[in-house]
Amino acid sequence: VGRDRYGVFPLRGKLLNVRDASTQQVMNNAEITYLKQILGLQHGKKYEDTKSLRYGHLMIMTDQDHDGSHIKGLVINFMHHFFPSLVKMPGFMVEFVTPIVKATRNNGKDVKVFYTLPEYESWKEASANEKGWKIKYYKGLGTSTAKEAKEYFADLQKNSKDFTYTCDEDGKLIEMVFSKKHVDDRKRWLNSFQPGTFLDHNCSEIPYKDFINKELILFSRADLERSIPCILDGFKPGQRKIMYCGFKRNLKSDIKVAQFAGYVSEHSAYHHGEQSLASTIVGLAQDYVGSNNVNLLFPSGQFGTRLQGGKDSASPRYIYTRLGPLARYLFREEDDRLLNYLDEDGQSIEPEWYLPVLPLVLLNGADGIGTGWSTSIPNYNPKDVAANVKRYISGMPMESMVPWYKGFEGEISRVITKGASADKGESFSVSGIINIIDEKTIEIVELPLRKWTQDYKDFLEALMKPVKKEQQPFITDYKEYHTDTSVHFVVTLPEKNLELAQKQGIYKTFKLLTTISTSNMHLFSSEGLIKRYTAPEEIIEEFCDKRLEFYQKRKDCMLQDEEEQMKRLDNKVRFILMVVNGELVISNRKKADIESDLDNLGFDRLTKGGKSKASKQNQENDEDDEASPKSSKAGAKVSYDYLLSMPLWSLSLEKVQDLQNEYDQKKEAVQKIRGTKPTDMWLDDIEQLEENLDVVAAEEKKLQEELAEQQQRAKGGKGKGKAKGKSAKAAPKKLAVGVKVAPPVIEAKAPSKRGKAAAPKKRITQVDSDSEDDFMPSLMERLASRSGAGDIDVAKVPAAKAPAKRKQMSKKESLDSPSPQQKTKTVRRVSPVKKKTARAAAKKKSIVLSETEESDSEFENDSEFDSDALCDDESESDSDFEM
């Protein structure tokens, strides 16, 4: 088209959503600044024509996929928000369309072009019987060749479509999609989506309302599917494709993550970047504290740790993976044939959804931000989930569950909320572990979930910087003794600051208390609709309803297979006996005549295959067997080959006896299956899963013990003889003397009604139990078992006030006697013992300090330090995230 009348400006990524952006954000955005300069736009001017502009049209050319539609919408949103007169001007806003799918045959003589995937799917269903079409998917503009690009621009009039502003409804729709003020309207818009919707690009003009309702809605729906998992298998589409390819390849030996990503992209028709696939593979294999309770892939290499929340994983080309030991106990092979496998360009790909033995979305949790909705689901103990599924099976009421994360040593406790509505979900307090060693030293041996070690180290660094120049820093020093699986900070601070921290709440001061909420649990339901769940038990109930149906289907399929095997064996025995007795002659005859006799004698035409137990086992051991259940089933043909292809030695008496014995065994198996209830099959699967959960847990515990033993030998095994002193870098020994601080008991009050004054805050006093005083677990014992990040909010702790004048006490009395500020708490403390003899005696009994704080002071997650929050305590309308 030439450069005389057409200028080209490449947008780098997606344009800023200016609808709710600040003036500073808009002014600092380079893309918007360039657009205004190129077009010569003036803020606040109402345009009646384009004579004052440098160009008379704004043509948008993007990829034809969902993200390309989003970019078009963002550009339209920018123009409508600041220059609505130009949006309403006929012919000013234009789009240039390119194909997303091309179907060709007869060496390219017959060509069909599709501009949306639903349009292609509609054609494919209508022409299902037509063969010979070659399909090519155009992921982006870069997929087109130079020849094809010239063809597009040669027919500029056909490929350019004018946006038209038909009425005020167009403007309202643009605002509804991109403004935070229309959250509920946007949700209703998304819920009105009908599968198969697409925009017809054969017309020359496209009304804005058609672009919003028929094209942009496809992006919003796809964005939701990529962000919100399905209740049935707990997967998002990329995760489902990865597990499908892992099962298809029977991935039992290591493969590079980068290579596996390429395999998944090829065999599951994945149309996005392989880098995002590799990141998803890494996420499925991670097993550090705060990630997965059940990792479906095995992490063979550095897949990330709690030090940086998984961000410290190695490059995909350096690490390996394979199916995890529990993958096939969760996703049973017997269910594979029952699933609805999707089809892409004639290639069988992943199923619509899987059905695991237990709801995976509760085992590993889920987080996601989509258009209109977000989701945050905590992890739960697989044993607790299994117990509730068993209660569902037996018809008993389920028990309420508390979130649980493998390896986490802190406390997760339910927040007591008076008068709270059950449909708003629950909140749980999550606390780390802090111990007071002496009046100037504390140790932190566990962090709240998803507060990573490196970020907490930065937080402590900030505490070492004084708020004001003349003030002393809140802490003076800290030392690190943690590993990639455990946390251990030893912090030194002035005595007055420790007292101040205890007064304010030591957990709050050191950011060791957060909350988890179940108020934002959104999932795609079994009907494919976004649904909000208020409790994990509600998720279990809906999952179990669907899962039980498939156990009945599995039973029916197993009966069908066994009865077919019985029929096959019966026909073989009859066939051999009739040949041996001369009742059927097969030698020196045509195959058609033999088959005619077999028809007359009542034999059955069956498939030649028929999986015996042995052959099935061989298939399980063959890692390269890539026959999907759908393809193997589709290729089967019925005939008499299973009889006529038997070797000659099959006519022996021994063979007849073997076949008869096998027939009797099949008959017993059929009777056993008929007498088995679907619920019994489910319980057997759960029992096998639980047994293997214990096996994996024992192996992990053994590995941790071996690592701890190696570390201990490395610390004390070097040098000549035994060292008299302790190395400065060695971790301190087990805590023998000091105070373990118990996390506060939190009681949240229901919000008061309007017009009434809020009730005064109450203090909750927790009294120590005598039984807890007798023994306190040592530090190394707590670290023996395996113990999840964000910007840091520096704790600004005010300087301690000067104490009131009083009678001077000895150091011992000052430590043993509570201060006036502490008299509202019921506590017991012990003084630090300095002599070795007293230290040894003190090992027999340690005092637990029970800390009390204001009832609602820790209910709010006041830590900006945790940007990857586990929960969203906002109302449902506030959980909307903009496009």
Q: Catalytic positions, please?
A: 318
Contact 666, 562 (CB under 8 A): yes
What share of residues in the chain are helix, strand, coil (percent, to 5)?
Answer: 40, 15, 45
Phi, psi dihedral angles at 623 (to 5 degrees)? -70, -25
Which structure tokens are listed for 183? 């959250």
CA–CA distance, 192 with 173 (Å, rounded to integer): 14
- Residue 117: closest CA among 61, 186, 155, 63: 63
Q: How far apart are the first and last CA of the chain?
A: 34
| Burial of residue 161 (number of CB atoms within 10 Å: 0-12, 13-18, 19+) | buried
Alpha helices in 179-216 (DSSP H): 183-191, 208-211
> Which residues, other chains included, contact 661 with Cβ-Cβ below 8 Å and sequence gap of 6+?
none
Phi, psi dihedral angles at 114 (to 5 degrees)? -125, 135
CA–CA distance, 666 with 517 (Å, rounded to integer): 52
C-alpha angle 198-199-205 in degrees, rounded to nearest 5: 175
Report CA-CA distances (Å) from 590 to 571, 575, 597, 699: 20, 17, 11, 63
Phi, psi dihedral angles at 405 (to 5 degrees)? -125, 125
Sign, Cα dihedral of 123, 125, 126, 131: positive
409: helix, strand or coil: coil
Phi, psi dihedral angles at 825 (to 5 degrees)? -105, 145
- Residue 8: closest CA among 164, 141, 201: 141
CA–CA distance, 420 with 442 (Å, rounded to integer): 37
DSSP element (H, E) containing 443? strand 441-446
Phi, psi dihedral angles at 103 (to 5 degrees)? -115, 125
CA–CA distance, 500 with 658 (Å, rounded to integer): 84
Beta bridge partners of 137: 101
Beta bridge partners of 479: 490
- C-beta atoms surrounding 2 within 10 Å: 6
Contact 526, 234 (CB under 8 A): no
- Residue 403: closest CA among 435, 431, 437, 380: 380
Taken as a whole, the chain contains a residue count of 883
Alpha helices in 745-818 (DSSP H): 770-773, 779-784, 811-816
Provide DSSP, 118-162.
Answer: HHHHHHHHHTTT----EEEE--SGGGS-HHHHHHHHHTHHHHEEE
Adjacency order of strands within the sheet including 134-137? 110-114, 101-105, 134-137
Beta bridge partners of 136: 102
Contact 517, 873 (CB under 8 A): yes
- Residue 826: closest CA among 765, 871, 780: 765
Give Cα 802 to chain centroid, integer Å.
51
Amino acid at 336: D
Crossing angle for the helix pair 217-227 and 66-82, nearest 10 degrees? 120
Give the chain's radius of gyration (CA, Å): 34
- Residue 881: closest CA among 236, 213, 14, 20: 20
User: How is residue 855 annotated by DSSP?
Assistant: T
